[in-house]
Amino acid sequence: MKFSKIHFLLSVYLLKLACEAHEGDSAKKVEAIHAHEDLAGHVHVGWESRYFSEGRDALDGKSLWTGSVELGYKHFSGGVWYGRSSNHAYDELQYNISLTQEKNDWSFYAGYTHLVFSKEDETDDEWSFGIAYDDLPYSLGTSIDGTYSMDAKGFFYEWSTYHEFSIGEKSAALITGTLGLNDGYVSDGNDGANFYALSAQVDRKLSDNYLVFCHVMQSFAIDRDLTLAGDDQLEDFFHFGLGLQLNF
C-alpha cells in the first residue's frame, strides 16, 4: 500500500501562519512553505499514535516516529520527510518539491514526491495538487486536494472544511472535517467515498523559533468492503500526535 500526503488544507494553514504553525497530523509529509522573500525553513520531530492514511490504520495500530526538514524561498519549497514505526518493522523516506501561489483568498499548490520504502525495497513517484478558499461565511475555509500515484496509476482526493482561530497571543487552533475519496489510488480497495474524519489541533509558541503542537482525530470508514484486501485497514479509529518544531 502506498501512503497519501495528508491534507492540503493543513499546508494552507501553515502558509497563513507564515511558518509559525505546524500541521496537526505529524504523520504529514513535507510542507509547502509559501511566499518568503528570504530563505525560510522548519525542522520537525514528532510522534503519532497511529499512521493515518486514506482513512486507514496503515500500521495496524502501531505508532510512528517522524522527522522532517523543509526549506522555502518565494513560491518554491522542498524537503525531506522520514517516518519509522515503533517496532522498526516499517520505514518511509520522502523527497518533495512544490510550488505554491496565493491570490486574494485563494491558495493553489502543486508538488512532486519521490517515496522510498527501504524495508520493502519499493519506490513510488507521486504528483499532488490542491486549491483552497479562505473566505467562507463564519470564518470557514475549504479545500480540495488530490494525489496521483505513478505506481498505482490512481488518484486519491480529499475535500476539507476548517475553522482556524487564536487562543491567546501564543497559541492557535484548527478544527477540520475531511471527506476522502478513492479513485484507484488504493488499487485493491473500494472506489468512491472511503472515510470522513474530524480533527482538532493546537500549536503553542515557546519562543520566536520554537513551538510545540498536538492534535486528535477520529476517522469513520465509509463503504468498507472486507472482500477487498485494501479495505482491511479501513475502519473507525481514533488517533493523536504531538511534536516540536524549530523555525529558522
Query: Is 1 within the bounds of a domain?
Result: no
> Is position 42 within any domain?
yes
- Structural domain including 50 reads 8-247
Query: Torsion-angle region of residue 192: left (phi > 0), alpha (psi -120 to 50) or beta?
Result: left
Q: How many domains does the chain have?
A: 1
Are 9 and 176 in contact, with CB atoms under 8 Å apart? yes
Most distant pair of Cα atoms in the chain: their distance: 52
pLDDT reported for residue 13 = 37
Spatial CA neighbour of 64 closest among 213, 241, 245, 247: 241
Q: H/E element holding 139?
A: none
Please list the ranges in the chain whose pLDDT falls under 50. Answer: 1-28, 33
* 119 contact partners, CB below 8 Å, separation of at least 6: 89, 90, 91
Q: Is residue 221 part of a domain?
A: yes
- Dist. CA 85–CA 88, nearest whole Å: 5
Residue 238 lies in a domain: yes
Residue 2 lies in a domain: no
pLDDT of residue 6: 40
pLDDT for the residue 244: 97
Whether 172 and 166 have beta carbons less than 8 Å apart is answered as yes
User: Distance (Å, rounded) from C-alpha 243 to C-alpha 241?
Assistant: 7
CB 108 within 8 A of CB 145: no
Predicted pLDDT of residue 10: 43
Using DSSP bridges, classify how beta strands 192-205 and 210-221 pair: parallel, antiparallel or unpaired: antiparallel
The radius of gyration of the chain's CA atoms, rounded to the nearest angstrom, is 17
Residue 56 lies in a domain: yes
Contact status, residue 34 vs residue 15, Cβ threshold 8 Å: yes
Dump pLDDT digits (tens) for 190-234: 999 999 999 999 999 999 999 999 999 999 999 999 999 999 999
Q: How far apart are CA 9 and CA 117, in angstroms?
A: 26
Give the residue among 22, 10, 27 at the shortest CA–CA distance from 62.
27
Helix or strand holding residue 69 (H, E): strand 64-74
CATH code (residue 164): 2.40.160.40
Output the CA–CA distances (angstroms, integers) from residue 91 to 3, 82, 84, 120, 206, in the order listed.
12, 7, 4, 9, 30
